[in-house]
Chain A
Amino acid sequence: MSGILETKDLTINFGGHTAVDHVSLSIKEKELKSIIGPNGAGKTTVFNLISGQLKPSAGQVYFKGKEIEKLPPHKRTKLGIGRSFQITNVFPNLSVLENVRLAVQSKENIMYNMIRHFKYFSRLEDEAMGFLEKVQLDKKADHPAASLAHGEKRKLEIAILLALDSEVLLLDEPTAGMSLEEVPDIIELIKEIRDERDRTIILIEHKMELVLNLSDSIAVLFHGKLLADGDPEDIMKNEQVQSAYLGGDIADA
């Protein structure tokens, strides 16, 4: 038990299909680990099992040595596992600022106050604004989230996650569907967070070239199984990975 987050023989079946099959991962504290794999490899499902959207059919998830696979999502967030979603998952009819403010409210533990006006806690809005500046959305703070372009929604997703200030960040394809010119900004932002070295990041990515320079270690999933796990160089050299992943998906892309 050396990692801050570990999975042991994590398995989930949907009907007869095993989407995640005995996956054992260990994520060291304050490292950036990428999980890569072709479509349908089970990357997002692993995330859903770690963050609690799904309960495993078998196997365990440990956070700081404690078993957490039976906890509901909100408890895992409170423990310090925050996540973003691949399919944009924001509050469409609330303002961009309010989307982030809610995350700050949760982080600040202002949970059950129903007497004060929310603007009484003006520091929450100030803080939320800071995160919007970080992802260059501060000028759209008053717009409803539904009016944002796709790339901007992805940025909002990241701002919400940052606002939670979690020890572990699960980033599910943060650049998915972004236009090419927007991608470097986000990669730069992830680099910044990594270089602060005060939290652990798990990143799901589709495009291998993005994560090679970014990651401390890489895990490769294929058909729900863990194919390889190690340094980026080792992963690059791994023949199984090349035939399964590079051979298939990258060639198509």
Chain B
Amino acid sequence: MKSNLNEMPNKTETTPDVPRQFQRNTLMKQPNYWIFAAVTLLMMAVPLFTSSNSVLFMLTNIFILGVFAMSYDLLLGYTGIISFGHAMFFGIGAYSMGLSLRFFDNAEAGVLVALAAAIVLCFIVSFFVGLLSLRLRDTFYALITLAVATIFLIAAEQWRSLTRGSDGFNFTADIPNNLFGFINLLDRQTVYYLGLVFIVAMFLIMRRFIYSPVGRTLQAIRENENRVASLGFNVLHYKLISNVVAGVIAGLAGIMYAFSIRFVNPHSVLGVELTIDVLLMTVIGGVGTLVGAIVGAGIIEISSHWLMGLRDVHPIFERWVILFGIIFILIVMFFPAGIVGTIRQKWKARRSSL
């Protein structure tokens, strides 16, 4: 499923296959490149300014949910299909890590087994769910993902001997403090940097993916599926690739979440609410923009935290979800293409009018 041999550059072509515009020096002239570098550096510096574990904890979760939201955006924004079961991959990742830390005495073995199990499981599940439903209409995909995700949710609730049912389980005691001899996962700062490396790596990987020939074809599928077929592309293959890539990355995000929260229960990592959250993150930030997914994750995390904090002011803030609904409506009204999407549109319009 990796690269196709047919793409080997044809040396007899008169136009050389040397990347013309895609060279480091032109890349560095793009403002996006500098924004990316500046934000990354800023995030690297955060622990120098604050030693507050709650701030680091919140940012770490934003990184992880940001990756989860970006993986969802591959489906919603770049392929144009809605999944109602994306949380299952996140849950598979989180449960794999939680369970294997609990059952393996050797921390390294536990982490590696969890990693392998999550990747393989997410691959298989996303592949077969996609194969079953993606050849049908998009509504079937939405329903089948919801159904399969519900199966996982029920399994996690009912298989008590393994998962401890709907209470879930805490595995703080099993978190390795000396993984591979140097990683202390009990240290918030270490987990923070791990999360930062994770989001930067995943962002770059997904960015490359959406700018690859496959990614470009996916965006065309989003625009006009039938026309893509009549250009000679097997639409099902492309949707499957998108589904598998999104599923595996969501699984990895789930693994990271396990390191950060050190606790799993069915509703927090497998529930439909989580899929709805990630859908909101993507829509708020801007569908079809990877950065938007991160911004959306940040907004949801920070505002829920902040609104919850206001519950001492007035008990209504206990029900922060209601207030969040209002924020959501306002954002959709004033930023119809999401925050990043709308800013990008305005920026483009300004540049072309100059």
Number of interface residues, chain B, beta carbon within 8 A:
41
A102 touching B231 by the CB < 8 A rule?
yes
Q: Is A90 an interface residue (CB 8 A)?
A: yes
B211 touching A102 by the CB < 8 A rule?
no
A149-179 to B contact mask, C-beta < 8 Å, 1/0: 0000000000010001000000000000000
B220 touching A91 by the CB < 8 A rule?
yes
Cβ 8 A contact of A119, one of B1, B20, B235, B245:
B20
Q: Is A109 an interface residue (CB 8 A)?
A: yes
Segment at the B interface, from A19-27, A73-81, A201-209, A217-225: A73-81
B217 touching A105 by the CB < 8 A rule?
yes
Q: Which residues of B contact A127 (CB under 8 A)?
A: 15
Q: Which residues of A contact B21 (CB under 8 A)?
A: 119, 122
Q: Is A14 an interface residue (CB 8 A)?
A: no
B220 touching A117 by the CB < 8 A rule?
no
Cβ 8 A contact of B230, one of A77, A113, A117, A123:
A77
Shortest CB–CB separation between residue B15 and chain A, in angstroms? Answer: 4
Q: Is B106 an interface residue (CB 8 A)?
A: no
B216 touching A114 by the CB < 8 A rule?
no
B22 touching A119 by the CB < 8 A rule?
yes
A121 touching B17 by the CB < 8 A rule?
yes
Q: Is A110 an interface residue (CB 8 A)?
A: yes
A122 touching B15 by the CB < 8 A rule?
yes
A106 touching B232 by the CB < 8 A rule?
yes
Q: For this complex, into which size category does the number of interface residues on chain A fall? A: 35 or more
**Shortest Cβ distance from B219 into A: residue:** A94
Q: Is B311 an interface residue (CB 8 A)?
A: no
Q: Which residues of A contact B241 (CB under 8 A)?
A: 112, 114
20 pairs across A/B with beta carbons < 8 Å?
A: A51-B230, A53-B226, A78-B232, A90-B224, A102-B228, A108-B6, A111-B6, A111-B233, A112-B1, A112-B214, A114-B213, A119-B19, A119-B211, A120-B19, A120-B22, A122-B22, A123-B16, A123-B17, A127-B15, A160-B231
* A106 to B220 CA separation, bound complex (whole angstroms): 12
**Shortest Cβ distance from A112 into B: residue:** B4
Shortest CB–CB separation between residue A79 and chain B, in angstroms? Answer: 9
Q: Which residues of A contact B213 (CB under 8 A)?
A: 105, 110-114, 116, 118, 121
A93 touching B7 by the CB < 8 A rule?
no
A123 touching B224 by the CB < 8 A rule?
no
* A101 to B211 CA separation, bound complex (whole angstroms): 13
Q: Is A30 an interface residue (CB 8 A)?
A: no
User: Which of A90, A91, A94 counts the most chain B CB atoms within 10 A?
Assistant: A91
Q: Is A39 an interface residue (CB 8 A)?
A: no
* A160 to B173 CA separation, bound complex (whole angstroms): 61
A83 touching B230 by the CB < 8 A rule?
yes
* A107 to B4 CA separation, bound complex (whole angstroms): 14
Shortest CB–CB separation between residue A215 and chain B, in angstroms? Answer: 24
B223 touching A113 by the CB < 8 A rule?
no
Q: Which residues of B contact A92 (CB under 8 A)?
A: 223-224
Q: Is B328 an interface residue (CB 8 A)?
A: no
Q: Which residues of B contact A112 (CB under 8 A)?
A: 1-4, 213-214, 237, 241
Given A98-B216, A115-B208, A123-B17: A106 touches B231 (CB 8 Å cut-off): yes
A110 touching B22 by the CB < 8 A rule?
no
- Interface pairs A-B: 5 shortest CB-CB: A77-B232, A114-B214, A91-B223, A119-B22, A106-B232
Shortest CB–CB separation between residue A181 and chain B, in angstroms? Answer: 27
